Structure 1
Amino acid sequence: MSRIQSIKRTIKSMSLSLAGIVLMVVLLSGCQSQQSDVKQAKSPVKDTLVIANDQDVPTLDPGLSNDSTSNRVIFDLFEGLVNQNQANQPIPGVAKSWKVSEDGLKYTFLLRKDAKWSNGKAVTAGDFVYAFRRNAAPKTASPQNYIFALIKNGKAVTEGKLPVEDLGIKALGEYKLEITLAHPAVYFPSVLTLPVTFPLYKPAIDQYGRSWTQPKHMISNGAYTLKEWIVGGHILEQKNPFYWDSKNVAIKYVKVLPTNTLSGYNGYRAGEIDIATPPPGIRLDALKKLFPNEVYSAPYLAIIYYWINVRKPGLDKLEVRKALSMVVNRESIAKNVIAMGQTAAYGIVPDMIQDGIYQYLYKELPSYKWVEMSMEKRIQQARKLLMEAGYSDQHPLRFQLSYNTSEFNKQIALSVMQMWKTAFGNMLRVTLANEEWKVYLNTVNSGNFDVARMGSNADINAPNQYVYQFTCHADSNAGGSCIKTIGEYYQKGLMAKTQRAYNENMAKAMKVAMENYLTIPIDNSQYTVLVKPYIGGYHPDQNYLNDVYSKWFYFKTSRSVKENN
């Protein structure tokens, strides 16, 4: 089974700054003065939205982007066939409408005739054909070219076995586009919200080569254009007068700053930044007390878990894996260690994927009845399982618990290790190991670990990438398991013609993975954003992907358009 038969997971370290933890005493000591500052804040007259983006943007090339930092800006500068609203639902973008053939294989898109490039020229079907072919070509080395495997001949094209002209996309006229899939995919419209599928202006790329993404070179079709890009400094976007929905774009300029979370937080407090992410170490309840009308917190389609390497002696036993999972108190970790609104995780996908339809799958599995038990009963049963597997005080189970370096990850690992020690005593001997992210990722991917922390966030609001990593030959299957029925259900789900069939087969695959305890889920992630009270238009309650577009926002003091949801 090829890795590019699914939406590949995007793994982020989710590592958090030790500096943020250390300085929390200083930050919280100023609570009273901060509260006073918030109450006295006035709505300024301004035309520039200032955003803290946490780090430098690696690229503004939609075909090369593979990170949320780059995408935050790319979503402003470009627009694909399909857009999304603040509930991550696909809505018309450059395509004003589309239809799907009865067999689920052909998508026909009708493009807006008023969609323009930033130089005033029309965005045509040919611009999408060029972008798809360019990004699917092996020489481009797009990190998200796996997406094209959904399209007819896409796998062979990305592997260099067929020319890009054989990719299943063609223009049926200037404003009509046809995409033929390799197999039905009910989630395909959501895939088209990813930057790798956005149109590209070929003349600019031909003329400027790699520097086409620089100011004065870039021709884009989004709500904003690129005015300045100072590496290590800032990015300045300017409202695009040729954007088809320009009348509903309220803010003239957007300034994006590459600050870490602590610097961004301080800039927010000082009134220099309008939107920022709070640093680690501040509890959500404390943050809401400091900024009662400025804190937005919502579930994020990401999950933290521990891979269990089933190739290792001892960990290859189901009884052992189940025992280890049973005694981890997820609720305690979420409430007392993380304390930013996260929730306990028992499944292999984030709870709120597809509006939570898989959230309580564990309740359908007899082997998960322990979730409702007291910790005392859990420990009794877990100890029995470990003894049945052949372990005792005299013959303890030994393994290493690994994590990528960060104080935050360390605290979670220490908590889990203490829970195991409390439950199993001398029946278990666990040591901790940590490495910097790049080294750690290589260690995990090579299978050179026992139990290892990982965090994974979704590309789209569907469980593909999470289920895929439990299939036999998935490149992301760090635990080394091979249970064929998971792959069979997964494939049936991918190729389902109806949403119902897709959901049912993905759920079946999840249940098999869960019953085999291949990972230890820890928590469902939550994201928190600080937004100044004079900014309107932001409704993140159902934005579980945390994809954000500046065109949603307006300044309440100078509101000139209707709120754009």
Structure 2
Amino acid sequence: MLNQTPKKHFTLKLLMVLFLTATVSGCSQSASSSKKQSNTSKNTITLMQTNELLSLDTSNHADLTTWNILENTMEGLYKADSKHQPAPAMATKVVSPTANGTLYTFPLRHNAKWSNGDPVTAQDFVTAWQRSVAPTAKSGYNYIFSGIKNADAIIAGKKAPQTLGVKALGRYQLQVELEHPMPYFNKMMVMPAFFPENQTALKKFGNNYGTNSQRLYYNGAFKATGWDGTNESWTLKPNKYYYDKKAIHLQAIKYLVVKDPNTAHELFEQHKLDDATITGVTAKELQKDKNLIHQKRAGNYYLRINLANNQPLTNNNMRQALNLVLDRRALTKDVLADGSVPAYTYTAKDLATDPTSGKDFASEHQPQQTYNVALARKLWQKGRSEAGLKKTVNLTLIGDDQTVTKNVAQFVQASIQKNLPAVKVTMRNIPEKSASAAVKSGKFNLAQTLWLADFADPISFMGILTKNNPQNYGKYNDDEFNQLYQAALESSTSTNQYWQNMNKLEERLNQTVPVLPLYQMVESHLVNPRLHGVLSHPVGENDYTRAYLK
């Protein structure tokens, strides 16, 4: 889904972004205080985000904070249900393709309206998708439209966005034409990248669309208010035009940006947060707290490597060496302590089962060697010799300024400098907006990155490492990988061939090491016991639209 500090961006999404940590004060709670947990209004909850909200324009921005807000204020063709499967939203049913799997025709509900009272129409989807797939779109997510007719040519600037294979068959019928079958296409339709955009708002606000909470309209259960484009708090309020407003129980959902888990814990204890994300010392000491829950996410946190010309880590042996000096078990146990588990493969575990073997896809590809300092030193020296690097290798490690990101950076820095000779790692932990800009411009050697799957298929991970993908900020360019990826797309109607290509892709990444996997996210949350009705998904953001306080 999303990639954060470069999502995806999110989560996705990434799907760009990062993390959390802390110390602890008393966590006992009386029965009377439990009853008045969190807010003065019984119909208001307060939640946290770990990074600033930078935009609400899905065509020009994609990160976890943006998508979290949009998934609670907007709806696409489908929403994810309690079993994490696509369910009707703007579409009245989950449709099956025709024309040998290449044509989807979606009937749209007639009673859906935007927060300004406009009806939601098929043209709102057409306009949004054409805007998002354009080569001028800045979200870094236009590649997600690949597979829809003419999308690749549009992204490359060879065709106009208006030629995208999507059209309105009247006001309430949308048709999408694919270049080849995509068995996972319905799963993709829950993603914010495919949300509609109100045409009136696009014309009215122009280049300022989505730059604050008033400069767009919402078709979901809530609308965002109180965000001026820079502040660190905002509120979601019910959309009076929502088609299912009788199912909405909350009067407001308040958001605060909280970067430090210790602060999050304190706010929870003060009844100022209904859901607090914690990690590090705080998480470790609160693992037996009655209000603690764990949420496993289908995403891996890894180090993106800059492989552009003249970068010091273009040598494969040096990258293999870095991979072998990182003790992931120590990282997850002693630094994170929030339930997160070591990651040894690029694709996250529990994302998908390989139907040809019946095994977890990622688990099939765990390397035999995961932590071996002696071997790492040999590979490092060999790589330095091959690359002609006689002096100390200076590496810049960039990430955002959350507490957990800094702690992970310190762990990586110490692991590399302690275990390998002639190398210096400089940490740069800066605000998310600045970190994202630095990564996009290639001003890094290693970049702390979280990628959350957009949908439950390994191809959701693979796409961003292809040659021309706009989120391939590390400039990984491997002919064999690119060819295998294309072969996977073209073989999607053959289960055996498709998964054979998927397996080869993961193995190729083990061989070439364009990223250094660190851990798979398992979030620790302190949750108000009175909060019910929240849908939590391993892929995508939490759905609070039907939440209530009991």
TM-score by length of 1: 0.79
Structure 1 segment 134-533 matched on structure 2, within 5 A: 134-137=131-134, 141=138, 143-158=140-155, 161-209=158-206, 218-226=216-224, 228-229=226-227, 232=231, 234-261=233-260, 263-278=263-278, 280-289=279-288, 291-305=289-303, 307=305, 309=307, 318-354=316-352, 357-363=360-366, 368-371=367-370, 378-379=372-373, 381-382=375-376, 398-404=392-398, 408-409=404-405, 411-412=407-408, 415-416=411-412, 419=415, 428-437=421-430, 453-464=448-459, 466-472=461-467, 474=469, 476-477=471-472, 482-498=477-493, 500=495, 501-533=497-529
Q: For 1:479 and 1:227, locate their aligned partners in 2 and report how far apart those are by CA, in whole Å.
A: 36
Give secondary structure in 2 for the equivalent of 1:353.
coil
Give secondary structure in 1 for the equivalent of 2:545.
helix
Q: For 2:350 and 2:197, locate their aligned partners in 1 and report how far apart those are by CA, in whole Å.
A: 33
Would the aligned equivalents of 1:100 and 1:106 in 2 still touch at CA under 8 Å?
yes
Structure 1 segment 13-28 matched on structure 2, within 5 A: 13-14=17-18, 24=23, 28=24
Change (3 A) 1:331 1:91: same
Would the aligned equivalents of 1:471 and 1:484 in 2 still touch at CA under 8 Å?
no
Would the aligned equivalents of 1:399 and 1:451 in 2 still touch at CA under 8 Å?
no
Q: For 2:315 and 2:202, locate their aligned partners in 1 and report how far apart those are by CA, in whole Å.
A: 55
1:298-323 CA distance string (max 9 Å, x none): 23513223527496699555555434
Worse overlay, 328-337 or 198-207: 198-207
Give secondary structure in 2 for the equivalent of 1:273.
coil
What is the aligned partner in structure 2 of residue 562 from structure 1? none
Would the aligned equivalents of 1:261 and 1:276 in 2 still touch at CA under 8 Å?
no
Would the aligned equivalents of 1:306 and 1:522 in 2 still touch at CA under 8 Å?
no
Would the aligned equivalents of 1:299 and 1:352 in 2 still touch at CA under 8 Å?
no
Unaligned runs of 5+ in 1: 1-6, 557-565
Would the aligned equivalents of 1:65 and 1:195 in 2 still touch at CA under 8 Å?
no
Change (3 A) 1:287 1:153: same
**1:75 CA drift (Å):** 1.7
Give secondary structure in 1 for the equivalent of 2:71.
helix
Q: Which amino acid aligns with 2:368?
A: K
Question: Is 2:534 the counterpart of 1:538?
Answer: yes
Would the aligned equivalents of 2:213 and 2:228 in 1 still touch at CA under 8 Å?
no
Q: For 1:245 and 1:380, locate their aligned partners in 2 and report how far apart those are by CA, in whole Å.
A: 61
Bigger Cα Rg: 1
Would the aligned equivalents of 2:77 and 2:189 in 1 still touch at CA under 8 Å?
yes
Q: Which has the higher helix share?
A: 1
1:326-350 CA distance string (max 9 Å, x none): 3432111211122222211111122
Give secondary structure in 2 for the equivalent of 1:550.
coil
Change (3 A) 1:153 1:54: same
What is the aligned partner in structure 1 of residue 3 from structure 2? none
Structure 1 segment 35-114 matched on structure 2, within 5 A: 35-36=28-29, 40-43=33-36, 46-86=42-82, 88-97=84-93, 98-114=95-111
Q: For 1:317 and 1:163, locate their aligned partners in 2 and report how far apart those are by CA, in whole Å.
A: 39
Query: 546, 554, 564: which one pairs with 2:548?
Result: 554
Give secondary structure in 2 for the equivalent of 1:257.
strand
Would the aligned equivalents of 2:214 and 2:225 in 1 still touch at CA under 8 Å?
yes
Unaligned runs of 5+ in 2: 1-7, 354-358
Q: For 2:342 and 2:546, locate their aligned partners in 1 and report how far apart those are by CA, in whole Å.
A: 32
Q: For 1:94 and 1:109, locate their aligned partners in 2 and report how far apart those are by CA, in whole Å.
A: 9
Change (3 A) 1:246 1:444: closer
Q: For 2:313 and 2:205, locate their aligned partners in 1 and report how far apart those are by CA, in whole Å.
A: 54
Q: For 1:238 and 1:416, locate their aligned partners in 2 and report how far apart those are by CA, in whole Å.
A: 42
**1:450 CA drift (Å):** 5.6
Would the aligned equivalents of 1:90 and 1:190 in 2 still touch at CA under 8 Å?
yes
Change (3 A) 1:49 1:446: closer
1:78-133 CA distance string (max 9 Å, x none): 11112113554322221122221243321111222333334555422222223223
Would the aligned equivalents of 1:63 and 1:195 in 2 still touch at CA under 8 Å?
no
Query: 122, 126, 132: which one pairs with 2:123?
Result: 126
Would the aligned equivalents of 1:400 and 1:451 in 2 still touch at CA under 8 Å?
no
Change (3 A) 1:117 1:314: closer
Q: For 1:198 and 1:295, locate their aligned partners in 2 and report how far apart those are by CA, in whole Å.
A: 30
Give secondary structure in 2 for the equivalent of 1:325.
helix
Q: Which amino acid aligns with 1:201?
A: N
Would the aligned equivalents of 2:318 and 2:380 in 1 still touch at CA under 8 Å?
yes
Aligned alpha-carbon RMSD (Å) = 3.8
Change (3 A) 1:259 1:517: closer
Give secondary structure in 2 for the equivalent of 1:91.
strand
**1:35 CA drift (Å):** 1.2
Q: For 2:134 and 2:311, locate their aligned partners in 1 and report how far apart those are by CA, in whole Å.
A: 43
Q: For 1:39 and 1:358, locate their aligned partners in 2 and report how far apart those are by CA, in whole Å.
A: 48
TM-score by length of 2: 0.80
Give secondary structure in 2 for the equivalent of 1:514.
helix
Q: For 1:96 and 1:464, locate their aligned partners in 2 and report how far apart those are by CA, in whole Å.
A: 28
